[in-house]
Structure 1
Amino acid sequence: MKIVFAVDGSAYTRHMLGYVAAHPELVGGGHEFIAVHVTPEVPPHAARHLPKDVLNEYYAEEAEKVLHPVREFARMQGWTLRERHAVGHPGDKLADIVNEERPELLLMGSHGHGAIAGAVLGSVSARVLSRTKVPALLIR
């Protein structure tokens, strides 16, 4: 089974990974896990003043900050893990990757802002769920 972990480096990501590790009945063994991280894009008005190599290095460093602990956790669990990184709006880019990968399950940690905050701020989870047709498990 192919399972995508949406990871952002927050406590919610750590909680999601811990929950999955503590509940192997959710996913069983021998699956392909894909950790996906989306780094928000530097606003264009600021990005145009930065050399492209500096900007790319920033994006790579931000991704590594998030993906390194996930990689280590997966190694300790004995999980097969592949990593994907994109730059842009997290909800849109994550949905694009999920649609491309076509996993059997998407796992996301939910920040749990609630209905009003989610409507005002927008929710990555809600955006991804509205743009994909993959079974998803939100862990809060």
Structure 2
Amino acid sequence: MKILLAVDGSSYSKKMLAYLSTHEALLAPGHDYTVFNAQTALPPRAKAALGKSTVDAYHAEEAAKVLSTTTKFLKRHGIDAKVEWKVGPAGSLIGKLAEDGQFDLLVMGSHGHSALGNLVMGSVATQVLAHCKTPVLLVR
């Protein structure tokens, strides 16, 4: 099975990994894993002041911090995962990668906000569900 793990470095991503570790069918060396992180773009004024190379280095460093924790976890379980990251809105980037990469399953942690909370604050999980047809496993 081709599985996409969307991570953001939060405690919710850690809970998602803990959930996977208790379900052998989802965490097995026989699957093909890709770990993905979406970095929030810096405001245009910050980009202009810092310069493209500085901003690119910042995003690469932040993504590496998030992704290294997950890849270390997977390696402890005998899994060598592919790693990807992009800059932009997380919900649409995750949904697009899930569709374009033809993944069988997308797994991600969720904050578990109420419907009202999602309306007020937005929700990456809600955006992902709106942008892809790939089956999604949300772990609260």
TM-score normalised by the chain length of structure 2: 0.95
Q: Return 112-121 or 1-10, whichever deviates more.
A: 112-121
Unaligned runs of 5+ in 1: none
Aligned to 2:19: 19
**Contact 2:38–2:89 at 8 Å: present in 1 too?**
yes
**Contact 1:4–1:105 at 8 Å: present in 2 too?**
yes
Structure 1 residue matching 2:25: 3-state secondary structure: helix
**Contact 1:12–1:110 at 8 Å: present in 2 too?**
yes
Kindly state the Cα deviation for residue 80 of structure 1 after the two structures are TM-superposed: 2.8
Aligned to 1:126: 126
Aligned to 1:117: 117
Query: C-alpha separation between the residues in 1 aligned to 2:15 and 2:49?
Result: 38
Structure 1 residue ranges, 4+ long, deviating more than 3 angstroms after superposition = 26-29
**Contact 2:4–2:103 at 8 Å: present in 1 too?**
yes
TM-score normalised by the chain length of structure 1: 0.95
Query: C-alpha separation between the residues in 2 aligned to 1:104 and 1:54?
Result: 36
**Contact 1:35–1:67 at 8 Å: present in 2 too?**
yes
Kindly state the Cα deviation for residue 77 of structure 1 after the two structures are TM-superposed: 0.6
Query: C-alpha separation between the residues in 1 aligned to 2:128 and 2:135?
Result: 11
Kindly state the Cα deviation for residue 98 of structure 1 after the two structures are TM-superposed: 1.3
Query: C-alpha separation between the residues in 1 aligned to 2:36 and 2:22?
Result: 21
Kindly state the Cα deviation for residue 26 of structure 1 after the two structures are TM-superposed: 3.8
Given the alignment of the two structures, is residue 59 of structure 1 paired with residue 89 of structure 2, yes or no?
A: no
Alignment deviations for residues 39-89 of structure 1 (CA, whole Å, 9 cap, x no partner): 000011221111111001100011011001111001001113001100011
Query: C-alpha separation between the residues in 1 aligned to 2:72 and 2:27?
Result: 19
Identity of aligned residues (%): 39
Aligned to 1:4: 4
**Contact 2:28–2:79 at 8 Å: present in 1 too?**
no
**Contact 1:91–1:127 at 8 Å: present in 2 too?**
yes
Aligned to 1:50: 50
Query: C-alpha separation between the residues in 1 aligned to 2:8 and 2:113?
Result: 16
Q: How many residues align?
A: 140
- RMSD value, Cα: 1.1
**Contact 1:109–1:138 at 8 Å: present in 2 too?**
yes
**Contact 1:31–1:80 at 8 Å: present in 2 too?**
no
Structure 2 residue matching 1:38: 3-state secondary structure: strand
Query: C-alpha separation between the residues in 1 aligned to 2:26 and 2:71?
Result: 20
